[in-house]
Amino acid sequence: MELKLPDKVRDFMSTVSRSGYEIYAVGGSVRDLLLGRNTADTARWDFTTNATPQQIQEIFPDSFYDNTFGTVGVKIKSKKGETEEIYEITTYRKEGKYSDRRHPDEVVWGRTIEEDLARRDLTINAIALSYSHEKKSSSKSYRVVGEENIRLVDYFGGREDLRQGIIRAVGNPEDRFAEDALRMLRAVRFAVTLQFTIEEKTFDAIRENAVLLEKISGERIREEMVKILSSDYPADGIKLLYNAGLLEYILPELVKGVGIRQPGHHIHDVFTHSVESLRYCKNPAWLVRLATLIHDIGKPVAYKELDGKPTFYNHEVVGAAIAKSIAQRWHLSRQEREKLYILVRWHMFTVSELLTDAAIRRFIRRVGPENTADMLDLRIGDRLGSGSRETSWRLEKFKQRIIEVQKHTPSVNDLAVDGHDVMRVLGTPPGPKVGEILNKLFAEIMENPAKNKREYLLSRIRGISN
């Protein structure tokens, strides 16, 4: 096997080895290097060693250490002396019980690399690259062609699992998932992003232990879901989460759509339609993909039958409230929460050729100019996920009219009156009330730009203020 380490990585490992300690590169960078990915020079590199944090800091005086997990951050400098990146190096660990299914009750320094790798989640993440000037080797190490002092260490068959495209837990999968339930979600994420297959015993253990995901915080779930939604195959990820029994603990509101039939042009039940809409959403932004996935999440709640046919009146209003709950559960930022709400709340917009310019402006105002393209991407995913064609002449005309209307859409600054006029007419000092009145006047001219006349607006100021 021939691998090429970045010079910075080799120099770093050499420095630790020459100081008399063992040093191994571990984690995602090793995995990606073995997969032949061209990210070796920019990927985050993690290392493990038998040196204690204090000994590491003696080797790298400019490093920092402020945690209980034995991880030291080492600043890697450029030729100009500037910090380019941080290498994290952690003392071998041997963990005990995980009472809360999230964190080890205690972290104990391990004695060997095998102990350290044995605590990791998946075999493909339990491969290490050693660097030693003494050229030591074990029965589980392999020579790396072109790297005289580097050997590949693989105690759990990760190299072969990479070759075969298999996701397998290290050791007993029941034990690994009982220690940290998030590992189940990580297994799905790696299966999706790498397009691998989850090994049977590992998959069965996920289904058996899915309920443990209730112990995991919304932030940690969000981090994994963002990676799944950002992948090349997000819809496959959602289906795999469902088949593994995990989705009901991540998005239970979405699972309620299973088996709920839809009328008209729809060819799928609500759940399948939602997943297929995600599949066809061309927007790469994870938040837009999430909105596409959950745009009909209010349908199971709004479901009623009328003359034997299913109806979902106001499901977008119900769905927007559910979207807000999901956003809070996942601890999204305020901006992310607002955008998710908007995309779900207003996804039922009309694209009739009979719409007036005022109606188009209302759509833009509700959605926000910055969200119109994302909303249209959601609509196209929605159409394709229903079994319809990607677009129609009405939708294409609607897109064009959005562009045209925005060229002529005024702002508050374009009003024929200003704040000084408001203060003069009402005899009021500067304050929030002035802005409120200007916004109300602006709303009127958005409906009918012809009303943007000074005489008319001056006459309206006093009436609006009452």
Q: What is the pLDDT of residues 404-442, one digit of tens each?
A: 887 766 678 888 999 999 999 988 899 988 998 998 888
Which superfamily, per CATH, for 7-164?
A: Beta Polymerase, domain 2 (3.30.460.10)
Q: What is the DSSP string of 318-369?
A: HHHHHHHHHHHHTT--HHHHHHHHHHHHTTT----TT--HHHHHHHHHHH-G
Cα atoms in the Cβ-side hemisphere of radius 13 Å centred on 31: 19
Amino acid at 415: L
Distance CA 41, CA 355 (A): 54
Which of 128-137, 203-212, 437-446 comes out lowest in average pLDDT?
128-137
C-alpha distance from residue 23 to each of 35, 84, 123, 126, 347 (Å): 22, 21, 20, 15, 54
Fold category of 165-250 in CATH = Hydrophobic Seed Protein (1.10.110)
**Residue 341 reports pLDDT greater than 80:** yes
Q: Is pLDDT of 313 > 80?
A: yes
Residue 143, SS3 per DSSP: strand
What phi, psi does 409 have (nearest 5°)? -75, 120
Token pair for 206: 């996920």
CA atoms of 79 and 231, how far apart (whole Å)? 35
Residues 446 and 426: their CA atoms lie apart, in Å, by 23
Q: Is the pLDDT of residue 66 over 80?
A: no
For the residues of 445-461, what is the DSSP string, one character each? HHH-GGG--HHHHHHHH
Query: Is residue 101 over pLDDT 60?
Result: no
pLDDT above 60 for 41: no
In eight-state DSSP terms, residue 203 is: H
The answer to whether the predicted template modeling score (pTM) of the entire model surpasses 0.75 is yes
* Of the candidates 452, 448, 372, the residue with the CA atom closest to the CA atom of residue 412: 452
Residues 386, 266: contact at Cβ < 8 Å?
yes
How confident is residue 234, by pLDDT bands cut at 50, 70 and 90? very high
Distance CA(299)–CA(302), nearest Å, equals: 5
Work out the widest C-alpha separation in the chain, in whole angstroms. 91
Rounded Cα–Cα distance for residues 178 and 101 (Å): 6
CB-based contact 129:152 (threshold 8 Å)? yes
What does the pLDDT average to over 123-144? 74
- Quick check: 293 and 242 in contact, CB under 8 A? no
CB 415 within 8 A of CB 451: no
User: What are the tens digits of pLDDT across the range 162-202?
Assistant: 999 999 999 999 999 999 999 999 999 999 999 999 999 99
Buried b (16+ CB within 10 A) or exposed e, 129-159: bbbbeeeeeeebbeebeebeebbbbbbbbbb
Give yes or no for residue 216 having a pLDDT over 80: yes
**Cβ partners under 8 Å of residue 338, min gap 6:** none
- Calculate the CA 260 to chain-centre distance: 28
- pLDDT tens track for 276-309: 999 999 999 999 999 999 999 999 999 998 887 8
Ranges of each domain in the chain: 7-164, 165-250, 256-409, 412-465
Give pLDDT tens digits for 368-393: 989 999 999 999 999 999 988 888 88
For the domain spanning 256-409, the CATH number is 1.10.3210
Structure tokens at 341: 């709400």
Compute the chain's Rg from CA coordinates. 29
Q: How far apart are alpha carbons 47 and 56 in whole angstroms?
A: 12
Mean pLDDT of the chain: 88
| Three-state SS at 306 | strand
* Coil, strand or helix at 230: coil
Span between the terminal Cα atoms of the chain, in Å: 81
What span, in angstroms and rounded, lies between the C-alpha atoms of 33 and 323? 39
Contacts of 401 (CB under 8 A, 6+ apart): 355, 357, 360
198 residue type, one letter: I
What percentage of the chain has pLDDT greater than the value 90?
58
Q: How confident is the model at residue 104 (pLDDT cuts 50, 70, 90)?
A: low
